[in-house]
A and B are shown apart, each in its own frame.
Chain A
Amino acid sequence: MGDKITFGDSLVVTVFSMTVVFVGLIILAVIISLLKNISVDKKIKGTEIEVPIVPKQQAKEEKVQPSVDDNELVAVIAAAIAASMGVKVPDINIKAIRRLPQNTPAWAQMGKQERIFGKL
């Protein structure tokens, strides 16, 4: 195409180019979609992280020994529950906190602690 072009020519260029851009990218999109079926690692195929929608005012109960009377601990547990559920602290209602008997093997506890400290 020459240097001097008319308005009509420019319309043709525009329509043609937009069509090619669309068609080219649609082809890419289709191939990418196919790619998913061919190459997704078997183990994680189809795993989508489901975020549970938790209704407000849901009662949450944790079993903890009644003798523990520590407001700070209660506040921390309440905040942790609220954060993991994605709601505000006043929206949850903690009825009881009881300590469960420790039945994790010592070696597993060690491992867990090492991992936690490794992240800090």
Chain B
Amino acid sequence: MQTVFKKTPVLTDAILHYCPGCGHGIVHRLVAEVIEELGIQDRTVAYVPVGCAVFGYKYFNVDSVEAAHGRAPAAATGTKRTDPNRVVFTYQGDGDLASIGAAEIVHAAHRGEKITTIFINNAIYGMTGGQMAPTTLVGQKTTTSPYGRDENHCGKPIRIAEMLATIEGSAYIERVAVNTPANIVKAKKAIKNAFECQLAGKGFSLVEVLSNCPTNWGMSPVESMEWLEKNMIPYYPLGVKKDITKEV
């Protein structure tokens, strides 16, 4: 019999704890497949966040470290600087990266830290039960913005990819989405580019992944993908925001 599909060995066999229809599982697989394809499993160290991906160390079949909330880029720096031959990536959500860990991500980019960050933007705090994130859209209802996010009260959502692209040390920054098969293919390519950027020693690389949260958005998985397409992509435009490998 011909094998037409095989699960990547860079994911363990542990059963994912994510809610049905959540995009985290897709992104985990993409990251793991890229690590397999690049042949870097034996020198990769994963840094997982506090948030929905807190159990990431159970799923990524590489040496893994659980970081304090928002601190993954700083901790990953410690692993990278003690042996630059290691491939180090952080996997962080929007509460972790864009809120409590804003300083750590900005300065990892600022130093041109040769690490790769996979940033999941689903416009909400998932693990803690659906609170407002810095990325929550204006008008979006969450448990801490029950009347909808009011821009006069707590500002407009932050565009992390664009912000980090302005920093000199950033080498590769792209925003992708995992709402359609075509976008998932593009997301995988972006993740691969980001890891290749690290392997080439170019500087800091980050892929912002627009993802969904059916549970806390109060939608079915299909509705949530449609909501992402209709509401998130217009505010968070997809595409490469910075790529020094292509610049003259």
Do A and B share a complex?
no
Chain A residues close to B by CB (< 8 Å): none
Residues of B within 8 A of A (CB): none
